[in-house]
Structure 1
Amino acid sequence: MFDRYTEKARRTIFFGRFAASEHGAVQIEAEHLLLGLVKEGLERGLQFPEGAVESIRRAIVAERPAGQNRTGTSVDMMLSKDARKVLEMADQEREAMGDKELHQGHLLLGFLLVPGCLAAQALQKVGYELEPLRAEVRAVTDRGLPPE
């Protein structure tokens, strides 16, 4: 499933799984994937607005505080419906842009394309909008900046 993902995009998913475990979740939610993206950091050519990382973390923790019981990292966890939709939308963006690999810019777009999820709301609170972000991701791809 993740064979077209860049290494940093794969690590984002891994850190999302870890965030779900830390929160005691029974499945990986879209907001856990966003926490994974925040932890991994964006690929070259993209950056979070100043102060966005902490704002995103605070917004997610305010809505989904960490649970008392952490889920073991060896336990298999499914992706929630919203998390699956984020990845699906990210892949559609990758395909529409003609990119061979799915990178973190596509993931950011995927979050925004699932507007009801907490991850999208957190990104919108820090100023992300779909069309300007889409243009920025295309510009990075068009400049030929390889993902790190």
Structure 2
Amino acid sequence: MFERFTADLRRAVVLAQEEARMLDSATTGPEHLLLGLLGLPGDAAVALLAEGGLDLPTAREAVRGGHAAPGPELDAEALDTIGIDLDAVREKVEAVFGVGALSGAGSAAGRRRRGGGGLPGGHLPFTPEAKKSLELSLREALALKSRVILPGHLLLGLLRLEEAPAARLVHARGFELADLRGRVRATLA
């Protein structure tokens, strides 16, 4: 499949790895693939996101702040009613294990101490959702009768996984996913 990637799409995947590393992630997820796409200047399909107000700095901040994947969160008020102060728990955990310990990624230094995360600058494994997005990019290219896989095909793959962090981030920024998919397909036709 990777042999069908255009140079731009390969660059986007490299950028995704760099974004994941910069954000201190142990893996490369769909949200990082989205960041990699947003790092491509001049791609027509990706430009649709910028036209709608989603650019690389905005998306990076959303991923950094944990807003890329809004999902079930701890209800601080509900916990407070049973005597648990969520902020106090978070502070205590971060004091012992480091900032971001509750995010699941932890620090790069901590992963190396625990034997994970690989070498600095090395390949970060793709999450199952990221792998599925890449697979869907191939399917999108085939459906559009393209011999190569373009950044727009990956964007379509990311948008098809509506419950994954990348699609949720795009939707949270005001995009209707079905409409955006149609517009991306039109740019690829």
Scaled to the shorter chain, the TM-score interval is 0.7 to 0.9
- Residues 124, 7 of structure 1: alpha-carbon distance in 2 compared, 3 angstrom cutoff: same
What amino acid does structure 1 have at the position aligned with 2:28? I
Identity, in percent, stands at 30
Secondary structure at 2:51's aligned position in 1?
A: coil
Secondary structure at 1:27's aligned position in 2?
A: coil
- Choose 22-31 or 86-95, whichever is displaced more: 22-31
Structure 2 residue ranges without an equivalent (≥5): 68-99, 110-118
- Residues 102, 128 of structure 1: alpha-carbon distance in 2 compared, 3 angstrom cutoff: farther
Greater helix proportion: 2
- TM-score of the two chains, using structure 1 as the length reference: 0.81
Q: Which residue of structure 2 aligns with residue 93 of structure 1?
A: 140
Q: Which residue of structure 1 aligns with residue 157 of structure 2?
A: 110
Structure 1 residue 132, shift from structure 2 partner: 2.5
**Is 1:28 equivalent to 2:19 in the alignment?**
no
- Residues 81, 88 of structure 1: alpha-carbon distance in 2 compared, 3 angstrom cutoff: same
Which of 57, 60, 83 is the equivalent residue of 1:57?
Answer: 60
- TM-score of the two chains, using structure 2 as the length reference: 0.65
The CA distance in 2 between the partners of 1:107 and 1:127, in whole Å, is: 20
Structure 1 residue 50, shift from structure 2 partner: 4.4
Show CA shifts across 1:27-58 (max 9, x none).
Answer: 21111111111122351465122431143222
Structure 1 residue ranges without an equivalent (≥5): 143-148
Secondary structure at 2:174's aligned position in 1?
A: coil
- Residues 17, 25 of structure 1: alpha-carbon distance in 2 compared, 3 angstrom cutoff: same
Structure 1 residue 97, shift from structure 2 partner: 0.8
Structure 1 residue 105, shift from structure 2 partner: 1.0
Q: Which residue of structure 1 aligns with residue 173 of structure 2?
A: 126
Q: Contact 1:29–1:82 (CA<8 Å) still a contact in 2? A: yes
Q: Which has the larger radius of gyration?
A: 2
